[in-house]
Amino acid sequence: MKLPTTTRRSFLKITSSTLAGLAITLSTTFAHSKPEAPTMTLDTVIQDVRKFIPTREASWKEQYFSLLRIPTISGEGENSQEKQKAATLLEHLLQEQGLNTKQFTIEYQEGDQFNSYPIIYAEKIIDSSLPTILIGTHYDVRPKNESDDDKWKQVNIFEPHEVVVEEDFGGKKIKDTRVYARGADDSKGHIMAILGALEFYQSYQKMLVNIKILFEGREEKSSAGMRKFIEAHQDLLKADAVIIADAPTLRAGIPSIYYGLRGYLGGEIEIVTSVEKKSHSGSRSFVPNSLGIASVLMHKLQDPLTGKVLFPEFYEGIIPPTAQLLKEIDEQYQDTSLATEEKAKKELGLIATVGDKTYSPAQRTTLFPSFDYQLVTGGGEGVLPNATSIKYAARLVRGQDSKRINDGLQRVIHQSGLEKIAKITLKAGEGDVAFYTDPTTIYQQVAGEALKKVWGTKELDRFIDGAGEPIASMYQEYITPNIIFVAYGHPNDNCHGTNESMLWKNGVLLGVESTVALLYEFGRVKK
């Protein structure tokens, strides 16, 4: 069964024999006589890619802008047709670099609804005896915040806008072009870095490593459905190491490798007091107020003054951080706004901070869980709301269990007594576990040295972050323990926020160089 290079789509509902055949076919498509091991130095490879980039830079920017113009939103405003358009474009770009490709459709359930989205798999296998590296990131983006529309530098946040800026970068001032658009950094800029590296790889016969690519399409909503896919496709995705490229660096101009991330559990609580329309606030004083019910319920779940979660199931099973790890976190974040309470308040313009102040803001952000209300909707001026929605998100640490937390949420709802006057529905997510990998492995060390050489610095930030990347723990569970999570963005890129952007030369193009260096050096690691 030969896989054609035209766009193909497949649902997860395929037989194991079909999967086996696909894996065999893909693994042999590009095989040829066994090549010799690379002998040139990384310095030479870096010089060569820097000569190559100016010849393709204009074309890459066009591709980048084309991808940014597609509103691949996950969440409010999601459009499956736009995601399919992006998947088709990405598959075409991968095919142009000589990779064999296949689209899969991932199905997932959200509340009572069943939905789907495409992901793109591609590979180029040179020789099975060489190291195989899987590179992954996501093409979906966060929804826009309607209240911030007038604060963006452009009217349409999906229309790329370029501005020449001056930025701090590695202890010096640089001038560069910032590209403003939703997804510019997170994570379409990283996709372009990968695509650029693949194009160089296609023309550079001295890079001897097998490559697999996986671009997912719902990372911003917990990578729904991806665990089932990865578990079912372990042979197809088999690799010696995984590179995940996403997010900004910890410090400007200093390369970063994340070796730990918190998990994520999101969901929604719907409160309905009437199926009829909203009531006039002056003539229906007997109507239960869904917003008032929501406020009572939120207070039963969390103390707003301290941030402490009030149902015990949330904290059950947590593996407490060691004294050594606490010390390491403070060292990692000593030059950031998370180093002290005062720095954190000044940076974010806070009146006060919440949480256990026995621990620093950096420690609370990375090693301890959080529970936050992110959006409450319902009502309007002059009316009594008949329906309210509470959207929440929890960041999880090692030992926490999503099912146990969901059970705790449901218990609080049932025991609150509020269901006497309202229908309350919990739409709980599946959640993903926290990610942690050994920072001392050969792939971690090789990656660190390669990035320092590309970035021209003796420093490297290897750290744990408070955010999450759901698929990282899935790769770790089913594919390989060697997960290398790198970042090509700048701390000022404002991912998820207003005026999200990414530097062009010192972001996207530096990412091309970095990806090339990682692939070359990983090809020299003995299997």
- Residue 280 pLDDT level (bands cut at 50, 70, 90): low
* pLDDT for res 383: 82
Nearest alpha-carbon partner for 244 in 49, 84, 474: 474
Closest CA to 72 of 10, 137, 117, 135: 117
Give residue-wise pLDDT tens across range 191-247: 999 999 999 999 988 888 999 999 999 999 999 999 999 999 999 999 999 999 999
Chain centroid offset of residue 249 CA: 14
> What is the predicted pLDDT for the residue at 277?
67
Mean pLDDT of the chain: 91
pLDDT tens digits, 370-381:
999 999 999 888
- For residue 275, name the pLDDT band (cuts at 50, 70, 90): confident
- Decide whether 16-262+434-522 matches 265-323+348-428 in CATH topology: no
> 450 near 42, Cβ under 8 Å?
yes
> Percentage of the chain surpassing pLDDT 70?
90
Q: Is the pLDDT of residue 154 over 50?
A: yes
pLDDT tens track for 508-518: 999 999 999 99
**Mean pLDDT throughout 260-267?**
96
The residues, any chain, with a CB within 8 Å of residue 214's CB and separated by 6 or more, are: 119, 120, 121, 134, 135, 136, 237
Nearest to 513 by CA among 40, 124, 138, 45: 45
pLDDT recorded at residue 136: 98
How many angstroms from the chain centroid is the CA of residue 254?
Answer: 20
Q: What length is written for the chain?
A: 527
Q: Is the pLDDT of residue 27 over 80?
A: no
Q: What average pLDDT does range 401-429 have in this prediction?
A: 97
- Flag the least confident range among 118-132, 280-294, 321-335, 340-354: 280-294
**pTM above 0.85?**
yes
Which CATH fold topology does 265-323+348-428 show?
Alpha-Beta Plaits (3.30.70)
Closest to 72 (Cα-Cα) out of 182, 152, 195: 182
What is the rounded distance in angstroms from the CA atom of residue 203 to the CA atom of residue 194?
15
Give the pLDDT band (50/70/90) at residue 278. Answer: low
pLDDT of residue 110: 79
Q: Using CA atoms, how far apart are residues 284 and 446, in angstroms rounded to an integer?
A: 69
Joined tokens for residue 391: 């959207």
**What pLDDT is recorded for position 200?**
97
Q: Which CATH number fits domain 16-262+434-522: 3.40.630.10, 3.20.20.80, 3.30.70.890, 4.10.520.10?
A: 3.40.630.10
Strands in 273-422 per DSSP E = 279-280, 370-377, 383-384, 387-396
Query: Is residue 123 within 8 Å of residue 198, measured between CB atoms?
Result: no
Note the pLDDT tens digit of each residue in 49-59. 999 999 999 99
Structure tokens at 48: 């060569």
Residues 231-260: pLDDT tens digits? 999 999 999 999 999 999 999 999 999 999
Comparison of pLDDT for 175 and 20, the residue scoring more: 175
Summarised one tens digit per residue, pLDDT across range 327-363 is 999 999 999 999 999 999 999 999 999 999 999 999 9
Question: What residue ranges do the domains of the chain occupy?
Answer: 16-262+434-522, 265-323+348-428
- Residue 228 is encoded by which pair of tokens? 């089932």
**What confidence score (pLDDT) does residue 282 get?**
63
What's the pLDDT at 112? 77
Which tops the pLDDT comparison, 29 or 187? 187
- How far apart are the C-alpha atoms of 470 and 138, rounded to whole Å? 11
